[in-house]
Structure 1
Amino acid sequence: MDGSRNPMIHKDIFGEKTVKDIGKDNDKREEPVGSGNYTVQGRADDILVHMSGEKTNPLPIELAIQQCPIVEHAVVLGHQRLHCSVLIELNSKEASKLEHSQIEKQILTAVENANTNAPAHSHIAPALIKILPLDKHLPVTNKGNILRKQVYNEYHSEIEQIYEQFLNQSNFDSNIPHDNQQKSWTKKNICDYLQETVAEILHKPIENFNDHSQSLYHLSLDSLSTLQLRNKLCQKFGFLDQNIIFEFPTIDALTDQLFAIVNNQQPRQSDDPQHYQQTEEIIDKYINLMATHTNKKRQVTNSDHLGKRIFLITGANGSLGSQTLLQLLNKPQVTKIYCLLRGPDAYNRLRADMELRKQDTAVLDDKRRIIILSTNFDDDQLGQTTNIYQQLQREVTDIIHSAWKMDFNLTINDFDRECLKGLYQLLKLAATSLSEVPMHFHFISSVSAAGSVVIDKVKEEPLSRQKGIALPNGYGQSKYAAEHICWAAMNHWSVPVDIYRFGQISGDSETGVWNTREMISLMICVGCGEMGMLPEDGEQINWIPVNYGAACLVDIAINSSTRTTPPSERVHHIQNPYVITWSQLIKYLKSAGLHFKVVPTEEWIHQLLGNPKNPAYSLAAFFEKTFADGKICHIGQFSLEKTIRRTAILQNCPPIGQQLIQRYIKYWLEVGSLKATDS
């Protein structure tokens, strides 16, 4: 049997192996204690940190795939990549009995089973599966554990080839005949092809997609499957715009677009190209839900929390969330903190994330003060047992909700499914508090919720319902929608709400740790490193170091106690009050010893878009919009006067200067994200 072919296989995860079946060398943790539910733990250096900033624990995925009898070993990869991939070593005795097509089928099934219980961002696409030839073996210890670093060294070329082929599937060579040139497409067969292809990619019955007017994102299409679908469409119809599926997310709309393309007609423009109308409809959907459940409304009083405060926080594994956790622990009146994290293995992932950020993980050992819970934001009880959910209703005094997907390529429909539904469930928890004092809801918003310069200067107060206020991307629109949903909860359910609009958050001012997959840090690392150039035009710099941003948030949250405070006093803008120019930042970077050219913005974006292997290519569509026509799309100004009065910490925030930039650069060089050039 020739095992040298590189099959294109597809998605899903964990089989039926119980925790008792897992090898003795794998740690197990009961979550929560006493529940009888266990998660597989791995070392911090096992965790894969993707370019999006999301993280994958490869161990349970590998264990699931290895349940297949023809698999000897599997290693999941994806560190500093957009998506996960997998190398599979076959069991030569079992595999040699089968034809290659049978092997591919079994491997595909194993990976599909694995994807089923994995987070969406950890799914493995067919084109990212590599079956090794029978004479190839993955390096393992005497106990059979994968030597991950040796895998990267020994199979570097194979790994690079997997990702390069996947990224270049959509490249179209006009000299090679393709289906667009070989057959006459009708609207019907385009529509049929789309329905079949989407069903195949999502591994669902074709009948699930009979409603061609329904958004594919409501039917589980995500960023990975969007890329797969676009790749297939490019192979059929030639090169297509990167955002074609985001802009036309239904089979009907896509059919019309593709039919126009194959007939050399002018493709129609989307009726709602920036999705502003969809955003308003989504807001109304949640407001109507709240209006039909008004029994949750309670009497608001002026009572304040007497002494102790118990916080529930989300997103503690994120940069701002982990700093918020540490800041809360410094407050003596905070007696307990519940940390809700998506997916399994919550404790181990949080510890690993804190280690990566050079934070003290010893604080997690205080099990009486910190309780870490795996959560499911789609569930009415947030994935908790009835007893634990009722415990949250009785005990929690404040919710800080900072968990939010950071993907500028997604639409408002994606954020509805991924984030807004969870926001609603958390607001419902606050509304059903069993305490005498209302549960206070602190929502972490963003300046992108009102950053489109429709307003000359955004005040520290609720936004009006006005199309075009938010930035024209799903992230900004989701924050705009979330703010209005929060105010609706205050109106219909009497939930005390405070909104914190954050500007650009930079790295820790003390350690220099700055997530290298965030837009700004990625732009600097790639621009000053691999590309050797930065654009001449950029936003004014009012970054706030994450430790100062979290300190401002906690200071305001701890002291926001008057329950009848009007909404006009419940909005806070957290960004650095000391602003520097883009050109000043360029000088700081050069003074730090980095060598790069400053080029016209149009040239910079052209160079970025021309290289799919560029680490910043994942944000190509976003950069293309941001630097439209070679000019930066500027964000509006935000008032800070009220927030500065509420917390002295904001006034004392250090400006972005040479010393701080030097600290960030040192960290980026240390972790290998910035590759300094000699000239």
Structure 2
Amino acid sequence: PVVEEANRAAPAFAKIFKEMVIITDPARPLPRAAKGTIVRKQALAVYEREINNLYATVEQSGNTENIPPPPSWTVPDVQAWLQKHACILTNRDTIPPSKDLFDQGFDSLYATFLRNRIIGALRADPETRPSARHVSQNFVFEHPTLRNLAIAIGILTGQDVHSGAGAGAARGAWEESVRAMVDKYAADLPAAAAAAAAEGQRDGREVAVLLTGSTGAVGAHILASLLANPRIGKVYTLNRKARVTYDRQQTAFTERSLDPWLLEAPKLVQLTGDLNDDGFGLRPRVFEELKTGVTHVIHNAWHVDFNRALDAFECHVAGTRRLLDFCSGSSSSSSSAAAARSRPARLLFTSSVSATYRWDVARGPVPEEALPDPRVAAANGYGASKFVVEQVLARAAARGLECTAIRLGQVCGPEASGAWSAQDWLPILVKTSVNLGSFPDLTGTVSWAPADVVADTFVDLVLSAARLPPTLNLVHPHPVEWRAVVRALNASLGSRGRRHSPLPVVPYAAWLAAVAALPMTSFNMDRFVRTLLPFSSPVLWPFDV
């Protein structure tokens, strides 16, 4: 009862599941420091076996609430069964079946529990037991509503679901949802006046840039480059209000070895708001200043989560459309603001190569244009949302607005310091390889672009007098082999005195199997690699093709 009472008042990330509770053994008391506090590292070592067993149990957990399996595998019965589990997990009376679960209190732990209960129910029925093998690690993320989950389970169990039977129908529904979102946000696009659309400098005014997402890896470098360039007269940053009170921008600069004194520049104005609020959630006077003064917008803010479905990114797509209207002047609430901006602002959007992930390389390099077929995009919501925005911007450009989608490949540490975030996938891969005692034998090539080079390129595009094309690819022009990267990493680790000989390089499949066998402990950073495992296949498409 005490834990249940605490859970009612706790945020989702702090809730305690009964499956996650370990009772200490009086014969093995928790080690304490002289001041009486628990010594965490030593305590974890004392109960390492129990912790590893607990996480193994979680991974295999089935139905712990004694809820019987659905009476049938039809969509209505499965949906009602899922509703019971989801409500118990989130402590809610009901969850709308068409609403994103992750907007209703779900997180990755809840998704793990629900997935395991789905597998448990499928295994309990001899007729559906083979279907349990096809429930992917990211099953709940791929189908993030109760309705979509029920349909997906129906397809797995061979039901004639309302959306059509089989993976082909599911794939067609996904493609249609992408096209529908494009049409929704490309409707009634503003047009630039002929005089305003003419090429040339922007009326002799100082260059004033509005930058979103300035606290991320790429955004922080773009901000540093803008502030260091004397040709940039004003820089506004617009970020969402944080739940924490520390200076996120200062922290972002410090973590990436950027000069924090740049943030003292008089031309920098830091704002917090929300693109989907009226006036971006800013005071009217401040929003009026942006409308009359901003000449360029760099839209870099985007949630990076390869597990979420397209619907989870719609708020970002909607925010981009509002920025389009802002740049055109159609969002102006007064005639004086429209008159003050005699020329629309130029919009640069940070897109991703994931928007064209499935382009057939046998046809040559990816064209620098918006590709109309949604099947070229990665099937996760992140890639699909970038694809949607590229289509919307291409249609806006056809109406005379200056807007360009810049497709970024992998951005690595800057040339100046080489510093990558410790939470990024490559540092995690290296740390995991060191702990495993082997590197994976990765084939193919890499074309990483240093973060400071990417940032300087954005500034060059801002300052360009020429009209930019609607789409640009920004990747390293000289790819290198993965094996050359592994050799360099091996040599670097050896030169730091951690070992005397290079780590062995093992087949990729063997390395992945070793990663999958790692103990799933909350204090083990290798745990994060598990988030990469579902994407380790060359094919990200979630359907059989």
TM exceeding 0.5: yes
Match of 1:360 in 2: 259
* Residue 440 (structure 1) aligns with: 346
The amino acid across from 2:146 in the alignment is: I
Task: Say whether the 8 Å CA contact 2:429–2:529 is kept in structure 1.
Answer: no
**Distance between the aligned counterparts of 1:277 and 1:157, measured in 2?**
52
Structure 2 CA distance for partners of 1:346 and 1:382, relative to 1, 3 Å: farther
Distance between the aligned counterparts of 1:189 and 1:459, measured in 2? Answer: 45
Q: How does 1:47-446 map to 2 (within 5 A)?
A: 101=1, 103-112=2-11, 123-127=13-17, 152-153=40-41, 156=44, 168=56, 170-172=58-60, 185-186=71-72, 187=74, 189-202=77-90, 204-206=92-94, 208-209=95-96, 212=97, 216=101, 223=108, 225-234=110-119, 237=122, 240-258=135-153, 268-269=166-167, 271-273=169-171, 275-288=174-187, 290-291=188-189, 299-305=196-202, 306-344=204-242, 348-366=247-265, 368-417=266-315, 419-432=316-329, 434=337, 435-446=341-352
Q: What displacement does 1:193 show?
A: 2.5
Map of 2:128 onto structure 1: none
> Hey, what's the Cα distance between the residues in 2 that align with 1:284 and 1:513?
40
Give the aligned partner of residue 461 of structure 2.
556
On the 8 A contact 1:317/1:349 being kept in 2, the answer is yes
1:245 corresponds to which letter in structure 2?
A: V
Shift of 1:507: 0.6
Tell which deviates more after alignment, 186-195 or 153-162: 153-162
Paired residue for 1:468, among 367, 375, 390? 375
Q: What is the aligned partner in structure 1 of residue 395 from structure 2?
A: 488
- Paired residue for 1:627? 537
**CA shift for structure 1 position 441:** 0.4
Change (3 A) 1:254 1:431: same
| Paired residue total | 497
Distance verdict in 2 for CA 1:138–1:334, change over 3 Å: farther
| Partner SS state of residue 456, structure 2 | helix
Q: Match for 2:14: what amino acid?
A: I
2:419 is the alignment partner of 1:521: no
What is the rounded CA distance, in whole Å, between the counterparts of 2:158 and 2:401 in structure 1? 55
Q: Please tell me whether the aligned partners of residues 323 and 546 of structure 1 are also in contact (alpha carbons under 8 angstroms).
A: yes
The one-letter code of the counterpart of 1:545 is: P
SS in structure 2 of the partner of residue 304 of structure 1: coil
User: TM-score normalized by structure 1?
Assistant: 0.63
Would the aligned equivalents of 2:236 and 2:269 in 1 still touch at CA under 8 Å?
yes
Q: Following the alignment from structure 2 to structure 1, what is the Cα–Cα distance between the partners of residues 192 and 461?
A: 30
Secondary structure (helix, strand or coil) at the match of 1:530 reads helix
User: Match for residue 126 of structure 2?
Assistant: none
Aligned CA distance change for structure 1 residues 420 and 184 (closer, same or farther; 3 Å): closer
Contact map agreement 1:338 1:372 (CA 8 A) in 2: yes
Distance 1:478 1:223, change over 3 A: farther
Structural RMSD (CA): 4.2
Among 484, 501, 520, the alignment partner of 2:407 is 501
> Is the Cα contact below 8 Å between 2:213 and 2:302 reproduced in 1?
yes
Match of 1:607 in 2: 514
For 2:91 and 2:195, locate their aligned partners in 1 and report how far apart those are by CA, in whole Å.
45
Provide TM-score, normalisation by structure 2: 0.77
Distance 2:55 2:328 in 1: 46
Alignment CA distance shift 1:221-1:550 (3 Å):
same
Which residue in the other structure is 2:499 paired with? none
Q: Which ranges in structure 2 are unaligned for 5 or more consecutive residues?
A: 124-131, 495-501
Q: 1:597 to 1:139 in 2, by over 3 A?
A: same
Equivalent-residue separation in structure 1 for 2:47 and 2:193 (angstroms): 53
Give the CA deviation at 1:169: 5.4
CA contact (8 A) 1:420 1:478 kept: yes
Contact kept in structure 2, 1:237 and 1:258, CA below 8 Å: no
Question: What is the Cα deviation at residue 108 of structure 1?
Answer: 2.2
Cα distance in 2 for residues equivalent to 1:558 and 1:295? 20
Unaligned runs of 5+ in 1: 1-100, 116-122, 634-679
C-alpha distance in 1 between matches for 2:103 and 2:9: 26
1:102-137 Cα deviation digits (max 9, x unpaired)? x3344223324xx6xxxxxxx43444998999x999
Structure 1 pair 177–300 and aligned structure 2 pair: CA distance change class (3 A) = closer
Distance, in Å, in 2 between the alignment partners of 1:158 and 1:618 is 23
Query: Helix, strand or coil: the match of 1:272?
Result: helix
Report the CA distance shift for 1:272/1:220 in structure 2 as closer, same or farther (over 3 A): farther
SS at match of 1:278: helix
Q: How does 1:626-665 map to 2 (within 5 A)?
A: 626-628=536-538
